[in-house]
Chains A and B, each alone.
Chain A
């Protein structure tokens, strides 16, 4: 196995972290999953460059990212269109391509979406911590020294030359999600759905919410009509486990969509985003608008199967 230098970070932008598909099995110790917010895009990127879909990649936020190839590499960028360029020429997304030693990959600013995922043939060589390479920024472990990437950081990959044959592979356009900025998220009722009166549920399902700038990898804070709980109920509940996509309503009656950096909480959940739509949460940015649509469990499962089918097509074409 030859692990060699593959990328040098020239500019990380506001937040670039190493993430894989997350850290499961340690919730009993209070350890949240972390991982790529838009796991779909990371999986596709990995498959395009001939990696296992579970490999780590870079989660790049909004703008200003720049990196130099330190060897010939196959890379793929998936997710939000942050106007990627290779040496100042536009660079296709959702397609694996060879970049040469010395080439510079830069992401300007979002045209659509919020985060782009850079997958590198040969992966990101880092020691897994608690069974994952994902970065936990709060407790400072995993990923690259438990922190966001900085200018000058060097990344390593495992035998990138063995992935050249994957170059030129494309993810079919029907499989690519569209990131509009006007989102409809499909949800199932939350674990305290019964604590909200009809008018709160009506407001939740019939209104549009705006994403606040206070949003990060922990949660998307929304502003919109107040979602008051039933009158005789207290501010909080006895703390319990929470999953990514749970929509909690704290005392100020404004909902928060919880993302991947929390594992317990003490507020009521009015609804939960379905698995098929979870990856979209990584592409929602401050100022976007969200509506919620209630679906049945059966619809949720059909939607999940559809998105998994797109991944399966890609997997089969890689065999």
Chain B
């Protein structure tokens, strides 16, 4: 469907969406990242917000200062200007996780669903390096992909009204970390003591879109080693 040229979609009179592909893939997401970084560096007049996601970048603007056609031209111009120096190497964050038990109430269910042992679920989940495709849903929530095919799990039929802060969860080919207590429909495999969102710190979250995340299992007794440290 996509020839590689960006598709511009109108989102009302104060935002537009630049689509750079039609699927979840690291290369499309990297294109989004490049465009996001370019626009962040040389923000066109009137732009108030840039929200990168899997395959698109949302550009929110003040309609009294600029408009769809003008921004489309400016964005196309910036996109074509090659500037690889703008794109820093992604960082890798290692995230400790207490898997199972009260920390990961869905671990057994997920193991049964896939007819493997909980230990195998843990080693599959912790044995993969994930890309931060986007941050959204709630402040600091990283959408991480992709989960190994053998762990791909449909969302819970009934979402939980309360998912504790720090929960590490999976759904389909994605995994994520709940930075604040919120409702949620993903399966909770474990819990991390690392804080993923703090509005009073700068930056408020240790992760940016395009960064990498690895999980490693820890025991309940080790939690204290991580609660005082910053990610």
Mark A residues whose CB is within 8 Å of B: 24-33, 129-130, 136, 138-142, 146, 187-191, 238-243, 245-246, 263-265, 269, 272-275, 297, 300-301, 304-305, 308
Partner of B137, one of A30, A142, A191, A305: A30
A173 to chain B, nearest CB (A): 24
Which of the segments B8-16, B70-78, B82-90, B101-109 contacts the partner chain?
A: B8-16
B17 to chain A, nearest CB (A): 5
Q: How far is the CA of A26 from the CA of B204 in the complex (A)?
A: 9
Do A243 and B58 have beta carbons less than 8 Å apart? yes
Interface residues of B in 29-50 (CB under 8 A from A): 36, 48-50
A24-B60, A130-B204, A301-B63 are contacts. A272–B140 as well, Cβ < 8 Å? no
A237 to chain B, nearest CB (A): 10
6 closest Cβ pairs, A-B complex: A241-B58, A264-B136, A272-B12, A241-B51, A141-B199, A27-B51
Do A239 and B143 have beta carbons less than 8 Å apart? yes
Q: How far is the CA of A129 from the CA of B198 in the complex (A)?
A: 10
Do B203 and A29 have beta carbons less than 8 Å apart? yes
Q: Could you jot down 14 A-B contacts, CB within 8 Å?
A: A26-B204, A29-B135, A129-B200, A138-B182, A139-B138, A189-B10, A238-B23, A238-B55, A241-B51, A243-B11, A243-B14, A243-B58, A264-B51, A274-B13
Residues of B close to A138: CB separation below 8 A: 138-139, 180, 182
Do B11 and A190 have beta carbons less than 8 Å apart? yes
Q: How far is the CA of A246 from the CA of B12 in the complex (A)?
A: 8
Do A136 and B12 have beta carbons less than 8 Å apart? no
Do A241 and B197 have beta carbons less than 8 Å apart? no
Q: How far is the CA of A246 from the CA of B58 in the complex (A)?
A: 13
Do A188 and B63 have beta carbons less than 8 Å apart? no
Do A27 and B58 have beta carbons less than 8 Å apart? yes
Residues of A close to B64: CB separation below 8 A: 304-305, 308
Residue from A29, A33, A141 with most neighbouring chain B CB atoms (10 Å) = A29
Residues of A close to B182: CB separation below 8 A: 138
Residues of B close to A31: CB separation below 8 A: 139, 199, 204
Partner of A304, one of B13, B137, B205: B13
Q: How far is the CA of A138 from the CA of B58 in the complex (A)?
A: 22
